[in-house]
Amino acid sequence: MQPIGVIVRKIDRCKSPVCEPGDFATWNFGGDNGHLSLPVKYEMEGTLLAPLQVGGKIKLHRTRRNDVAAEGAFTSSPIMRMEGDLVETCNSLYRITEVSRGC
């Protein structure tokens, strides 16, 4: 798979999430947040590590988090549905936008 640069933005929770979204006021970035999923409006930029497909997961090598450099890894819950640039997982609704990388 050719590396694909993307912005992954959590725009909402899914209708019946397994784990409710957290709150930015109390979110522990890089730490344990119990059984909460990412807060809504959380945004990551990085490179997809696997193709997006129903039943798979969003796997991202993250380079930025909410417009701040923050290298790390992200793996979502399983993908339930995909339509255009929207990806719904067991917990969240994401908008995924491909970003062009300069030479």
| Side-by-side strand order, sheet with 4-13 | 68-75, 59-65, 43-48, 4-13, 92-98, 86-89, 79-83
Judged by DSSP in three states, 48 sits in: strand
Mean pLDDT of 79-95: 97
pLDDT in tens, 24-52: 899 998 889 999 999 999 999 999 999 99
Euclidean distance between CA atoms 102 and 58, whole angstroms: 23
Residue boundaries of the structural domains of the chain: 4-25+36-98
pLDDT at residue 102, as a whole number: 58
Euclidean distance between CA atoms 78 and 58, whole angstroms: 8
C-alpha torsion 68→51→10→96, nearest 10: 80
Nearest to 47, CA basis, from 101, 102, 103, 11:
101
